[in-house]
Amino acid sequence: MASDTPKVVAAACDGACSGNPGPGGWGCLLRFSDGSVREFGGAEANTTNNRMELTAALTLLEQLAVLPRDPSLSIRTDSKYLIDGFSKWINGWKRKGWRTASGSPVLNRDLWEALDAARVQGLPLTYVKGHSGDPDNDRCDAIAVAFSKGQIPKLAQGEYGGLMVSESAAPAPVDLAPQGLQQLLSRLELADRLAQGGYGLSLLELAQLVEMPLKTLEAREGPWQWRDWEVTPAGDGRWQLRREASGSGQVQAEERQDG
């Protein structure tokens, strides 16, 4: 049934470039109400950081045009260039024949025109500070940076993505930990950073970290245990992690076995 189709509950994108101009990469992801995730990314040999930011956003808009979405969904990005251009400047550029206020041609016009054509009504862009501990922004950045370095990241297509495990053209060392274990380690390291910094997490961000469905977390009220951390309500619908001194926390019964 259509009502059973998972909705997109989170979307994020990022771009990276080495040299600017130089080798570039982009990455983006979609998270669904059933806990699954789809990731996308690519590379260009000679480009700019701004073009990679726009390319990532365009990919999301094209995907979201045909997917069911949560009414509160927005595309999260750390690019003010993307947000201001898409939300403010583009109408003026079009009126002036794709010229800026100073009369010079608008850079990246091809991508701006494609973005404008792919615009999804009622879907805003939201700014998130880069490298601030936001899990989805960090993930998209990792994908983009890997592509810009000529690596081939493993992209999630349904299952949880976790920390990207990238591969270059050379054979990977045989003693690497399994991908699932590396993904788990990245989440545990992130949990430690969040606990040490005293950061508050929204319910959606918490669901992404502990890999539990939103509906499961919505039913929780008081403190509860996730692995070696106590998860406590911090007010305003946010949650905080506190590391247990003993490190002997137990995995909740509804958590997936692989962490």
Instruction: Tell me, yes or no, whether 105 and 193 share the same domain.
Output: no
Residue where a domain stops, chosen among 135, 167, 199: 167
Instruction: Tell me, yes or no, whether 68 and 24 share the same domain.
Output: yes
Helices marked H in the chain: 49-64, 80-84, 90-95, 109-117, 135-148, 179-197, 203-210, 214-218
Q: Coil, strand or helix: which one is 13?
A: strand
Q: What pLDDT sits at residue 114?
A: 97
At residue 172, does pLDDT exceed 80? Answer: no
**Residue ranges making up the domain that contains 200:** 179-243
Residue where a domain stops, chosen among 112, 132, 167: 167
Instruction: Tell me, yes or no, whether 83 and 119 share the same domain.
Output: yes
Instruction: Tell me, yes or no, whether 194 and 225 share the same domain.
Output: yes
Q: What pLDDT sits at residue 3?
A: 56
Contacting residues for 96 by C-beta, under 8 A, at least 6 apart: none
Task: Provide the pLDDT confidence category of residue 140 given band limits of 50, 70 and 90.
Answer: very high
* Active-site residue set: 14-15, 53, 78, 131, 141
Residue where a domain stops, chosen among 134, 167, 200: 167
Here the tokens at position 68 are 């069911």
Distance CA 171, CA 34 (A): 35
With respect to residue 150, please indicate whether it lies within any of the assigned structural domains.
yes
pTM of the model: 0.64
Q: What pLDDT sits at residue 247?
A: 39
Residue range 175-221, pLDDT digits in tens: 444 555 656 677 788 888 888 888 888 888 888 888 888 778 888 88
With respect to residue 255, please indicate whether it lies within any of the assigned structural domains.
no
Instruction: Tell me, yes or no, whether 138 and 186 share the same domain.
Output: no
Residue range 94-108, pLDDT digits in tens: 999 999 989 999 999
Instruction: Tell me, yes or no, whether 163 and 38 share the same domain.
Output: yes
Instruction: Tell me, yes or no, whether 231 and 106 share the same domain.
Output: no
Instruction: Tell me, yes or no, whether 123 and 218 share the same domain.
Output: no
Instruction: Tell me, yes or no, whether 23 and 74 share the same domain.
Output: yes
Query: Mean pLDDT score of the chain, rounded to an integer?
Result: 83
Task: Provide the pLDDT confidence category of residue 248 given band limits of 50, 70 and 90.
Answer: very low
Q: What pLDDT sits at residue 178?
A: 52
With respect to residue 31, please indicate whether it lies within any of the assigned structural domains.
yes
Q: What pLDDT sits at residue 1?
A: 38
Residue range 220-236, pLDDT digits in tens: 888 999 988 999 998 88
Instruction: Tell me, yes or no, whether 211 and 126 share the same domain.
Output: no
Q: How many independent structural domains does the chain possess?
A: 2
Residue range 5-33, pLDDT digits in tens: 899 999 999 999 988 899 999 999 999 99
Q: What pLDDT sits at residue 133?
A: 87
With respect to residue 251, please indicate whether it lies within any of the assigned structural domains.
no
At residue 59, does pLDDT exceed 60? Answer: yes
With respect to residue 250, please indicate whether it lies within any of the assigned structural domains.
no
With respect to residue 216, please indicate whether it lies within any of the assigned structural domains.
yes
Instruction: Tell me, yes or no, whether 150 and 233 share the same domain.
Output: no
Instruction: Tell me, yes or no, whether 219 and 140 share the same domain.
Output: no
Residue bearing tokens 């956003």: 57
Q: What pLDDT sits at residue 158?
A: 75
How many Cα atoms within 13 Å fall on the side-chain side of residue 200? 7
With respect to residue 77, please indicate whether it lies within any of the assigned structural domains.
yes
